[in-house]
Amino acid sequence: METKTLLLIIGILGILTAIFSGWAAHKKTKYLLLILIFIGTGTAVCTTILAVTSEEEKVQYEHRLLLSSYQNLSATNKIAFVTDKIAQKNEEIAELNKKLALKSEEVANYLSGGNSFCILQLDADPWNKPIISVANVGKYPIYELAITILNETKRDFDKHYGIGTLPADKTWVNGGDWDLSSLPFSYYIIFDSRNGKFFETYKKKVINGVTKIGIQVFKDDKKGRKKLIYKKVPNDFPKDKNGFI
């Protein structure tokens, strides 16, 4: 048993003896009990102080360990945090660049006409003169638009119309000066605009007693081959081996 523990027990016994003996009747005994109480009390106080100090040192040591671990972990977390933030910012920048590219492409398409194209249709007025309708079916305006209408069966037939700017989803309407009364007829239309050339075949035939119209619009691809971009053709309408009317 440690000395301080023994002294603490002695002090406690002195206190208990003084309590239960009605305090000491003799002076010497009283002094002895006071000494024992002093020793015990002092020892208890010192033990408590030492215990508290030891506990505080233990807590401080553990705190230093935790703080050191936290600091190391915090540095790692900071690096990870910064790395994550950089990656997140890079993703945001990439997304922003993508949006800017799309916006730039959208602006370029709006200024050039993009992939917009037209469809020409012919209707007869009461005197069998043509009512020419040219519709922009794209999402961008078509600029500097001019059309040439050729009759595939009449070499001397050549009609030109300058339209200018045709907004998206708008239709230009004008009258023609030739006769539409005789069938069948076949027209080849050349569209010339800021966003390039495209072409239309417009044919009207009587099939099994029913008048039907076939329309095909196409552009030349980079290899000069016809690329069909629009068609409105009845299933029983005559076509060549390539599917063109």
Instruction: Give yes or no: residues 123 and 32 share one domain.
Output: no
Q: Using an 8 Å Cβ cutoff, are 59 and 34 in contact? A: no
Instruction: Give yes or no: residues 10 and 83 share one domain.
Output: yes
pLDDT at res. 171: 95
Instruction: Give yes or no: residues 56 and 134 share one domain.
Output: no
More confident residue, 171 or 103: 171
Q: Cα separations (Å) of 105 from 94, 109, 112? A: 16, 6, 10
- Report how many domains make up the chain: 2
Instruction: Give yes or no: residues 188 and 224 share one domain.
Output: yes
The pTM (predicted TM-score) of the whole model is: 0.60
Which helix or strand (DSSP H or E) is residue 131 part of?
Answer: strand 130-136
In whole angstroms, give the CA distance from residue 232 to residue 217: 9
In whole angstroms, give the CA distance from residue 188 to residue 113: 22
| CB neighbourhood size of 229 (10 A) | 15
DSSP state of 212: E
pLDDT at res. 38: 59
Instruction: Give yes or no: residues 155 and 219 share one domain.
Output: yes
Residue 238 lies in a domain: no
Confidence tier at 104 by pLDDT (50, 70, 90): confident
Residue 163 lies in a domain: yes
**Helix, strand, or coil (residue 164):** strand
Residue 8 lies in a domain: yes
Instruction: Give yes or no: residues 130 and 84 share one domain.
Output: no
Instruction: Give yes or no: residues 123 and 208 share one domain.
Output: yes
Q: Which of 92, 109, 126 is the last residue of a domain?
A: 109
- Give the tens place of pLDDT for each residue, 22-76: 544 555 565 565 665 556 565 655 555 555 456 667 767 766 765 565 456 556 6
Show the tokens assigned to 12: 């406690």
Q: Cα separations (Å) of 18 from 14, 31, 146, 163? A: 6, 11, 125, 123
The amino acid sitting at 54 is: S
**Per-residue buried b or exposed e for 185-209, using 16+ beta carbons within 10 Å of the residue's own CB:** bbbebebebebeebbbbbbbbeeee
- Give the tens place of pLDDT for each residue, 125-166: 999 999 999 999 989 999 999 999 999 888 889 999 999 999
Q: Which phi and psi angles does 237 have, rounded to 5°? A: -80, 135
Instruction: Give yes or no: residues 91 and 144 share one domain.
Output: no
Q: Using an 8 Å Cβ cutoff, are 204 and 226 in contact? A: no
Instruction: Give yes or no: residues 122 and 186 share one domain.
Output: yes
Q: What is the CATH number of the domain that holds 147?
A: 2.60.40.10
In whole angstroms, give the CA distance from residue 240 to residue 191: 23
Angle, alpha carbons 128-133-135 (nearest 5°) = 165
Pairing of strands 130-136, 171-175: antiparallel
Instruction: Give yes or no: residues 161 and 96 share one domain.
Output: no
**Helix, strand, or coil (residue 2):** coil
Instruction: Give yes or no: residues 218 and 122 share one domain.
Output: yes
Q: Which of 58, 89, 109 is the last residue of a domain?
A: 109
Instruction: Give yes or no: residues 86 and 181 share one domain.
Output: no
Q: Collect all residues with Cβ–Cβ distance below 8 Å to 132 and sequence separation of at least 6.
A: 120, 121, 122, 149, 161, 173, 174, 175, 176
In whole angstroms, give the CA distance from residue 151 to residue 145: 20
- Quote the domain boundaries for residue 52: 3-109
- Give the tens place of pLDDT for each residue, 178-217: 998 887 889 999 999 998 899 999 999 989 889 999 999 9
Q: Which of 85, 109, 133 is the last residue of a domain?
A: 109
